[in-house]
Structure 1
């Protein structure tokens, strides 16, 4: 199956983000917090604010990395609205190392979401 990320797999309006932000927190890392709320399919929302990533190039890079990681794992993820929120100021480093750090953290958060679903009692 080809990994895709159609518009229907994105959270867009504040009304779509609210339940996930108030929902269960699955994982917290150095940069991101992953929250989830029940939904019919896996959908992604991103909150990457100027407060923690002042440069627009950094914000855009973090969002691209997050969307790509989600796109590749989307078929494995249980149905739910997932929100990745940047919760800490990004470190002073090169863009390449920032993207590498973000990708490792996001991959581990998504793996945790898959693992949490696999270990739930039926």
Structure 2
């Protein structure tokens, strides 16, 4: 099976993000919090896992850092998307990113995202 990241695998509307942020916290790591909407009668079930990213400028001041973080999260999600349950996942950066090399940042983010996605599978 090919690992792709189509538009149907992303959150697009602010209302989708708001539902997830008001919902249940699935996992928390050193850098990120993963949330998902609570299931309810008015919630339309997702056909597959979808990803939303909130990477605030106040926690990662440089655009290079923010874009690198997003790229790494998308790549990790893309590889595990088919094994994840059909629900929306929002990754939110909650801690200031310390100045490190991009290589070290990529490794740190990938390790944490893989761990959080494993927790989200349960």
The reply to whether TM is greater than 0.5 is yes
Structure 1 residue ranges (4+ consecutive) displaced by more than 6 angstroms after TM superposition? none
TM-score (norm: length of structure 2): 0.91
> Could you tell me which of 102, 115, 120 is aligned with 1:108?
115
Tell whether 2:67 aligns with 1:60. Answer: yes
- Size of the aligned set, in residue pairs, is 115
Q: Output aligned runs, 1:65-104, within 5 Å.
A: 65-104=72-111
Cross-structure match for 1:119: none
Query: In structure 2, how many angstroms separate the alpha carbons of the residues matched to 1:13 and 1:51?
Result: 22
In the superposition, the TM-score normalised over structure 1's length comes to: 0.91
Q: Secondary structure at the match of 2:82?
A: coil
CA distance in 2, matches of 1:109, 1:16: 20
- Please state whether the residue corresponding to 1:74 is helix, strand or coil: helix
Q: Distance in 2 between matches of 1:47 and 1:22?
A: 14
2:32 maps to: 32
Correspondence for 2:54: 47
Q: Secondary structure at the match of 2:103?
A: helix
Task: Name stretches of at least 5 consecutive residues in structure 1 with no aligned partner.
Answer: 117-122
Q: 1: distance between equivalents of 2:66 and 2:99? A: 14
Deviates more, 1:50-59 or 1:9-18: 9-18
